[in-house]
């Protein structure tokens, strides 16, 4: 089990590292790849084919015109989570390219890197008791943070 993080450009590396760091907490390996649906579609297809017979979740990180998420989802049977870095450009409206997909194309959209890693963990946690335990630990810690913040 691993997450395959595909970023549209190397500029997204720091955003992807946030996802990878939280995946490590859950005990989930990941690989990072750079490929663009617009500029290198054949490379994207190669990545999908490389992992199609493994237990993976694809995470796509692309801003602006996010064709990557839909392209990956349309070419795999595996779960795809779009985690686009939200930009202040265009008043954040570039996010719409991650939300509106044609019929038959259904990547999930999660905007925060930490929540993206949690979503990956919950997918793998269906069959993995160790990951489920880490999810529970994470949730207990989040609840504790709120309770301890009480004034």
Which residue ranges make up the annotated binding site?
Answer: 9, 12, 39
88-91 contacts at long range (C-beta below 8 A, 24 or more positions apart): 89/64
What is the total residue count of the chain? Answer: 151
Please, what is the end-to-end C-alpha distance for the chain in angstroms? 42
Annotation: binding site for substrate? 9, 12, 39
Q: Is 82 helix (H, G, I), strand (E, B) or coil?
A: strand
Tokens (6 digits) for 8: 């549209």
């Amino acid at each position: 089990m691993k997450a395959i993080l595909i970023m549209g450009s190397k500029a997204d590396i720091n955003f992807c590292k946030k996802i990878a760091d939280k995946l490590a907490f859950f005990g989930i390996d990941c690989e990072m790849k750079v490929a663009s649906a617009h500029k290198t579609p054949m490379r994207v297809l190669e990545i999908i084919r490389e992992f199609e017979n493994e237990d993976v979740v694809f995470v796509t990180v692309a801003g602006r015109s996010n064709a990557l998420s839909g392209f990956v989802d349309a070419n795999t049977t595996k779960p795809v989570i779009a985690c686009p870095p939200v930009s202040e450009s265009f008043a954040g409206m570039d996010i719409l390219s991650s939300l509106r997909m044609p019929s038959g194309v259904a990547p999930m959209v999660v905007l925060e890197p930490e929540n993206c890693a949690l979503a990956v963990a919950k997918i793998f946690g269906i069959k993995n008791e160790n990951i489920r335990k880490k999810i529970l630990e994470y949730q207990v810690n989040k609840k504790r943070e709120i309770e301890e913040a009480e004034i």
